[in-house]
Amino acid sequence: METVLAITSIMFFPAGISLILGGMLYEWADRKLVARFQNRIGPRWFQPLADTIKLISKEEIQPLGVNRALFFGLPVVALAGALTAALYVPIFGLQPAHSFPGDLIVTLYLLSLLTMCTGLAGWNSDSRFSIVGATRTLTQLFAYEAPFLLALLGPAMAADSWQISKIVAYTETHWMIVLQPVGFVIALIGLMGKLELPPFDAPEAETEIVAGALTEYSGRGLALFHIGKSVEMVVGVTLVTAFYLGGLGNPLIFLAKTLGLLLVMAFLQSVLVRLRIDQTVGMWWRAGAILALLQILALIVLK
Amino acid sequence: MIATPNLINKVVSGITTWARVNSPWIIHFNSGSCNGCDIEILATLTPYYDIERFGIKLKGSPRHADVLICTGPVTRQARSRLLRIYEQMPEPKFVVAVGSCGISGGTFAGCYNIVGHIDEVLPVDAYIPGCPPRPEAIIDGVVKLLTHLKNGTRPEPIKPQLGEQA
Ligand code: SF4
């Protein structure tokens, strides 16, 4: 029975197919909102689904000079990491499928797996655009990762636990956005950095380096990376909402809250322009990390 | 029982065709045009015309693209680059020639430095005439290509009528 349950939770719910479809819906909502902010009509609701099916049905070219195992393995690992992270997160406002003390750290590292895989995929390639993209991806990872972690540490310290379900139970009665506004802003912007949305899209800046680390990927590999990214979007948005915007509560209200967060993210995406990679790193370490540290310090002192 | 694989094939090919028609990602290459057509293509990509409605997205990498949009005649220098970009695209791929120059060499026909029109180098699926074509015409051409894909046919190849020089 245990195994059946585990397999179901990985294949269908909460991770697996439902999450992939959810990720596509979130991606569509994001693209549509950005389009509306730019006064366009925007893509139709099935657009991410069509993109994915098309990519999967296309030819996959293995470029010269790549390590075959890495080239085909990395997209799978990336998607698997993002899907596994979902097991510990209250997706769509439902209780997490699995939980153990310290799962917050595991989730955060699983979420970074996608970025690491993207970086390695670029490195694996011979194309100079991929290598520049990979360098930028990994540099940016080191920029936002620490402040993002510190920002999620705030609620964890307030709740005195490293377990997501306990933290969420605590935040249900304490609106962390009011108690730790700095942490919320850093977590939100860190999430945008994680998803490489503008203004942090230097790693895939199409005007400079074609498509960044994924330049040489086509067909299935590209599709898997795309899916991984939209899954990561769902997990990230869920995590930030659950931590800062008043816990789980009613699933419907929770969904509305995540959509509200998505609206803010789409707004920021459409009003901000791309930062240079040195500006990104400088901003995160000069402002982001220090503010996050100050907040944690204040938390320790006040507690 | 014998019909089952056929049915599955039919359903799968129906789904892939649907996806292909609804998500054409384009890449744009200028093989020697005067830049007039390129400006019109860029205008087509602006929010004013919003081709993301049809799922069309401009991609930087030929590995990601489905439709190669070419402008201009093919110069001797650009020929190998054009071919290389075409070969870098994964199957299935389509080519759209934009502008009179791409169709027949246009105003450059017979120049010493050009190989000819795009059809002499690549198999072109759709031609969009005009010098330069308006953004509406470009959208119309792409939509025509998509309609043909949906019906499972390739657009009729129109052999351009060339003058004596070519
Ligand atoms: S068709 Fe006209 S606008 Fe286009 S490249 Fe030729 S001369 Fe220029």
Lowest mean pLDDT among A166-175, A291-300, B35-44, B104-113: A166-175
Contact B31, B75 (CB under 8 A): yes
Mean pLDDT of A242-269: 81
pLDDT at position B156 over 60: no
The model's confidence at residue B154, banded by pLDDT at 50, 70 and 90, is low
pLDDT bracket for residue A201 (50, 70, 90): confident
Would you list the domain boundaries of chain B? Answer: 24-149
Confidence (pLDDT) at A134: 87
Chain B CB contacts of A60 under 8 Å are 90
B106 Cβ below 6 A of ligand 1: yes
The dihedral over CA atoms of A103, A104, A110, A111, expressed in degrees to the nearest 10, equals 150
What is the full DSSP assignment across A36-97? Answer: HHTT-----TTHHHHHHHHHHHS-----TTS-HHHHHHHHHHHHHHHHHHGGGS-GGGSPPS
Q: What is the pLDDT of residue A164?
A: 78
The residues of A whose Cβ lies within 8 A of any Cβ of B are: 31, 35, 38-44, 46-47, 49-54, 57-61, 129, 206-207, 210-211, 214-219, 222
CB A248 within 8 A of CB A174: no
* Mean pLDDT of the B32-59 span: 85
- Among A208-212, B62-66, B131-135, B149-153, the minimum mean pLDDT is found in B149-153
Q: pLDDT tier at B163 (50, 70, 90 boundaries)?
A: very low
Q: Kindly state whether B20 is in contact with chain A, defined as any CB-CB distance less than 8 angstroms.
A: yes
Confidence band (pLDDT; 50, 70, 90) for A10? low
Query: How high is the pLDDT of residue A160?
Result: 78
Q: How many beta carbons lie within 10 A of that of residue A182, not counting itself?
A: 16
CB contacts, 8 Å: A128 with chain B = none
| Average pLDDT of the segment spanning A48-70 | 82
Predicted confidence at residue B153, as pLDDT, reads 66
Whether residues A219 and B50 touch (CB distance < 8 A) is answered with no
Question: How many Å is the maximal CA-CA distance in chain A?
Answer: 59
Q: Which atom of ligand 1 is nearest to the CA of B33?
A: 5
- Whole-number pLDDT of residue A17: 80
- Distance of CA B128 from the midpoint of ligand 1 (Å): 11
How confident is the model at residue B155, as a pLDDT?
Answer: 57
Name the class of domain B24-149.
alpha beta
What average pLDDT does range A145-164 have in this prediction? 81
**Closest partner residue to B52 among A43, A58, A206, by Cβ?**
A43
The per-residue pLDDT for range A78-116, each reduced to its tens digit, is 888 888 887 777 776 666 767 777 788 888 888 888 888
ipTM of the complex: 0.77
pLDDT at A99: 74
Which pLDDT score is estimated for A299?
A: 80
* Tokens describing residue A189: 């912007």
What percent of chain B is predicted at pLDDT more than 70?
89
pLDDT(B165) > 60: no
Q: What is the mean pLDDT of chain A?
A: 81
**pLDDT in the model for residue A42:** 80
- Asked whether the beta carbons of B132 and B111 are under 8 A apart, the reply is no
The pLDDT of residue A295: 83
Please tell me the number of Cα atoms within 13 Å of B71 on its side-chain side: 20
Identity of the amino acid at A146: A
To test the contact with chain A by mutation, choose from B18, B63, B68 the residue with the greatest count of A C-beta atoms within 10 A, namely: B63
Interval B115-120 mean pLDDT: 82
Q: How far apart are CA A83 and CA A16, in angstroms?
A: 6
CB contacts, 8 Å: A121 with chain B: none
pLDDT surpassing 80 at residue A212: no
pTM for the structure as a whole: 0.83
Q: CB of B132 closer than 6 A to ligand 1? A: yes
Q: pLDDT > 90: what percent of chain A?
A: 0
At residue B164 the predicted structure's pLDDT band, cuts being 50, 70 and 90, is very low
Q: How far apart are the first and last CA of chain B?
A: 57
pLDDT at A165 over 80: no
Question: Which atom of ligand 1 is the closest one to the Cα of B34?
Answer: 8
Model confidence band, residue A11 (pLDDT cutoffs 50, 70, 90): low
Q: Is the CB of B75 under 6 A from ligand 1?
A: no
Nearest CB neighbour to A210, from listed B50, B60, B66: B60
pLDDT of A4 above 80: no
Residue B1 has pLDDT above 50, yes or no: no
What confidence tier does A12 reach under pLDDT thresholds 50, 70, 90? low
Q: How far apart are CA A77 and CA A117, in angstroms?
A: 7
